């Protein structure tokens, strides 16, 4: 009983921070580092130019290095680079298959998505998408959504057959994508037209759109699906919207905010120009800390340790 109370107090005190068993990482493209920001840890040197990151179900992180045509694999627990997979193309956006055995890799200048073995990097198949694939997101049913930046659309790929089953026209230069927890809404941030689109994943129709202005470069959805977070690079803000895309708040962060991730009741924003990560309490919608990281952070990932991770549904 006393132990239970003590635990409750600890939980109440640590409302702002990552969920237990989760680690939030920031990847710095210019600095070539991966930094655990919550809980904080030492930066992991990765080599030149890691641009994007995806967390696997196996406690590993996968990082795309477009300029050196490689994907590095980091074991979260030890913080070690355990593999460097060659990639015949310009790797950028990444998604990890639910079983962790395959990766889906956007080939930026190849205008395709390639499925490779997460152990060896061997090519298992590929599918043509639009021009300059940026963000990739995989849903629980194995459907992959790809932001085709210079085709101004989202490609929808059935990963079982590796066939494109649809395209959804959106605004100009879609970059980042996020699914809500229910998986029935896909939010797409368009950098050039400065707007956010909501797509109904059942009908693949655009069911909502709001103009944010500036350059929205990152998007994330809260655990309850009620809040949509969008970074605006030109304004230096994290825009908070409700599920109807109505604005709730604009939280000032660092310069050129890009990637945004959520763990529990806390959001993390990669400030590309400021070389820092903003920590935002989603209850108060205020920045509670700004943590220094390597130069040019763009992307974030939330890694669940395999022993505390939810069993695959």
Q: How far is CA 283 from the centre of its chain?
A: 22
Asked if residue 126 lies in contact with residue 114, where contact means CB atoms within 8 angstroms, the answer is yes
CA distances from 216 to 173, 236, 288, 303 (A): 10, 10, 22, 24
Tell me: does residue 131 bind another protein (CB under 8 A).
yes
Tell me: does residue 200 bind another protein (CB under 8 A).
no
Instruction: Return the number of the residue (219 or 262) whose C-beta is nearest another protein.
Output: 219
Tell me: does residue 135 bind another protein (CB under 8 A).
no
Look up residue 202 and give its two tokens. Answer: 């059942």
Instruction: Return the number of the residue (68 or 265) whose C-beta is nearest another protein.
Output: 68
Tell me: does residue 69 bind another protein (CB under 8 A).
yes
Question: d(Cα 292, Cα 190) in Å, to the nearest integer?
Answer: 28
Question: d(Cα 298, Cα 52) in Å, to the nearest integer?
Answer: 7
Instruction: Return the number of the residue (110 or 121) whose C-beta is nearest another protein.
Output: 110
Question: Which class for 136: exposed (0-12), middle (13-18), buried (19 or more C-beta within 10 A)?
Answer: buried
Asked if residue 76 lies in contact with residue 305, where contact means CB atoms within 8 angstroms, the answer is yes
Q: Which stretch binds another protein (CB under 8 A): 16-24, 71-79, 211-219, 303-311?
A: 211-219
Instruction: Return the number of the residue (48 or 77) whose C-beta is nearest another protein.
Output: 48
Q: Which stretch binds another protein (CB under 8 A): 34-42, 61-69, 96-104, 285-293?
A: 61-69
Question: d(Cα 53, Cα 198) in Å, to the nearest integer?
Answer: 23
Look up residue 50 and give its two tokens. Answer: 């890691």
Tell me: does residue 296 bind another protein (CB under 8 A).
yes
Tell me: does residue 150 bind another protein (CB under 8 A).
yes
Question: d(Cα 293, Cα 303) in Å, to the nearest integer?
Answer: 18
Q: Which stretch binds another protein (CB under 8 A): 54-62, 154-162, 210-218, 282-290?
A: 210-218
Tell me: does residue 173 bind another protein (CB under 8 A).
yes
Tell me: does residue 30 bind another protein (CB under 8 A).
yes
Tell me: does residue 215 bind another protein (CB under 8 A).
yes
Q: Minimum Å distance from CB 99 to another protein?
A: 28
* 3-class SS of residue 134: strand
> In the set 31, 36, 66, 254, which binds another protein (CB under 8 A)?
66
Cis bond upstream, residue 39 (ω within 30): yes
Tell me: does residue 104 bind another protein (CB under 8 A).
no
Tell me: does residue 59 bind another protein (CB under 8 A).
no
> In the set 29, 155, 159, 239, which binds another protein (CB under 8 A)?
29
């Amino acid at each position: 009983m006393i132990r239970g109370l003590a635990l409750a107090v600890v939980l109440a005190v640590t409302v702002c921070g990552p969920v237990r068993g989760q680690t939030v990482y920031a990847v710095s493209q210019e600095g070539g580092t991966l930094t655990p920001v919550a809980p904080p840890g030492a930066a992991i040197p990765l080599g030149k130019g890691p641009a994007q990151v995806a967390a696997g179900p196996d406690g590993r992180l996968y990082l795309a290095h477009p300029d050196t045509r490689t994907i590095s694999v980091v074991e979260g627990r030890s913080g070690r680079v355990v593999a460097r997979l060659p990639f015949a193309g310009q790797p950028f956006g990444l998604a990890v298959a639910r079983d962790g055995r395959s990766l889906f890799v956007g080939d930026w200048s190849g205008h395709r998505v390639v499925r490779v073995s997460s152990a060896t990097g061997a090519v298992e198949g590929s599918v043509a998408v639009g021009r300059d694939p940026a963000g990739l997101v995989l849903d629980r049913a194995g459907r992959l959504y790809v932001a085709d930046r210079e085709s101004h659309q989202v490609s929808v790929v059935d990963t079982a057959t590796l066939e494109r089953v649809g395209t959804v026209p959106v605004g100009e230069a879609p970059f980042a994508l996020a699914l809500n927890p229910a998986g029935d809404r896909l939010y797409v941030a368009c950098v050039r037209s400065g707007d956010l689109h909501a797509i109904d994943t059942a009908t693949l129709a655009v069911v909502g759109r709001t103009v944010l202005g500036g350059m929205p470069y990152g998007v994330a959805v809260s655990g309850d699906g009620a809040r949509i977070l969008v970074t605006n690079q030109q304004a230096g803000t994290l825009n908070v919207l409700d599920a109807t895309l109505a604005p709730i708040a604009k939280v000032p962060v660092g310069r050129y905010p890009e990637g945004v991730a959520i763990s529990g009741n806390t959001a993390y924003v990669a400030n590309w120009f400021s070389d820092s990560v903003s920590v935002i309490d989603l209850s108060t919608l205020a920045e509670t800390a700004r943590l220094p990281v390597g130069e040019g952070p763009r992307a974030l990932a939330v890694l669940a340790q395999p022993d505390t991770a939810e069993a695959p549904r």
